[in-house]
Amino acid sequence: MRLLLLVTLMTALLTAPAAAATEPRTYEGTIDGARYLVKVPDDWNGTLVLFSHGYYPERWEIPEGYVALSTAEQTEGWLLDHGYALAASNFRGTYGLAVEPALKDQIRLLDWFADNVGEPRRTISSGMSMGGGIAVLLAERNPRRFDGVLAQCGEFDMQGTWNVALDINFAVRTLLTDGTAELVRIQNPQASVDALSAGIARARTSEAGLARLALVAALGDIPGWMSAHDPAPTGLWNTISAQADWVDAAYVQGVGPFGRVDLERRAGGNPSWNTRVDYRHQLAISGQLETVRQAYRQAGADLDADLAALNAAPRIAPDPRAVAYMYRYTVTRGTTPAPVVTLHNPADGGAVADQVGWYAEHTDDRQVRHLWSDRGNHCAFSAADEITALRTLEQRIDTHRWPDTSPAALNTAANRFAPEFQVVKDIVTREDKVMPPAFVRFAPATFQRPSR
């Protein structure tokens, strides 16, 4: 009994927020047009966490004055209560593929912090989704400014991502529509979105259409699990229906025609291509190959004919200047001047897990650890997950050795947190739910359209 009471007391001490004497000092404003937010506790421990936000589609509405300081909402309070300073910029323009301004605006914010608050003892670059890639790029390009990187649900090869998005929409247009939707150099993005979404909706009404949707999804290795709160769907057609949800929401509505307009404006033209792409090969290396084969068999559809149609369709060439822009700003180099922890969901259809595998191929595995939380959705992490990943990174920085990063060790660490730190948001439903830690081992498939 005494042992049980001791364990209970120790757990409470580990998970309870530290007593904060006062509210943190808050600084907000703009630097060269980029809105920023900084919070510093009175008992600042010398560590600054600089957060980079994800991709905001231009049709989303962000609350006035909102600046994200973490991926999980409860993380912010925990970090402040435990002495961490937090800072983030919305980047100039805020919306779309704002990587180029982010790489400048975040460093300007670091300079402002040093001048107005103090020089941090330690600076950690953190971010989610597009911001996960930005977090890595910041450390690669400013190696003396960062001591570690926490990249959550990150996009590490954004040029590759946009090529995958082109493949997906190219396949939707070729196999499921009348072929009139514009995919690049778009004059009427709404009409193109409507045409692509309508093709997906029609395909859902038959097994043959669902089989084609499985092929479309396989070209991006899109998983058949979209809910952060529910188990993975069972049954072939339910799995493909979830893939179709991803394709429509993320690749047509999100980075589809409207996203292309923003991308091409920034890059000075179209940076994506599918010239010389063999779609038979793309399917062969996809982690969804068996799903596609099973769907076509059950539907009695002709997979060879659909692959032939894709390979015969007129191709799209890039603008060299735009390609150069993407390589300059959106592709990580893999230099890892500071330790990096990635945190990803295996069934993330927004930033597919294959991105992590690609990044791992280009980095020193002594400097990087990849953590996996077994949920559907995109960036489906709790504060307990996020803080556990951050503590893993800090132990590597402090000791120059990686701690135990087995799923058992990570789940034990995350389980020490109280239920309010176990809340996971579903970004589709916008609902919150307490979920148990779900760290697992995972090996991603081959990234299908890498930039190198």
Q: What does the pLDDT read at residue 410?
A: 98
- Conformational region of residue 382, where left means phi above 0, alpha means psi within -120 to 50, and beta covers everything else: beta
342 beta partners: 151, 370
Question: Are residues 37 and 74 in contact, defined by beta-carbon separation less than 8 angstroms?
Answer: no
Q: What does the pLDDT read at residue 65?
A: 81
Tokens at 437, concatenated: 């830690």
| pLDDT 10s digits, 78-118 | 999 999 999 999 999 899 999 999 999 999 999 999 999 99
Of the CA atoms within 13 Å of residue 264, those in its CB half-sphere come to 18
Phi (first) and psi of residue 403, to 5 degrees: -75, 180
Task: List for the chain the helix, strand, coil content (%; round to 5).
Answer: 45, 15, 40
Phi (first) and psi of residue 414, to 5 degrees: -65, -35
Distance (Å, whole) CA 381 – CA 2: 35
Q: Which domains does the chain have, with CATH numbers?
A: 11-157+332-440 (3.40.50.1820), 159-326 (no CATH)
Q: pTM to 2 decimals?
A: 0.93
The segments of the chain whose pLDDT lies below 70 read: 1-21
Q: What does the pLDDT read at residue 358?
A: 97
Q: Where are the beta strands (DSSP E) in 64-121?
A: 85-89
Q: What does the pLDDT read at residue 63?
A: 83
Strands 340-344 vs 47-52: parallel, antiparallel or unpaired: unpaired
148 beta partners: 124
Compute the residue count for the chain: 452
Tokens at 80, concatenated: 């402040």
Of the CA atoms within 13 Å of residue 415, those in its CB half-sphere come to 10
Full strand arrangement of the beta sheet holding 368-373: 25-31, 34-40, 85-89, 47-52, 122-128, 148-152, 340-344, 368-373, 439-440
Q: What angle do CA 40, 135, 146 make, to 5 degrees?
A: 65
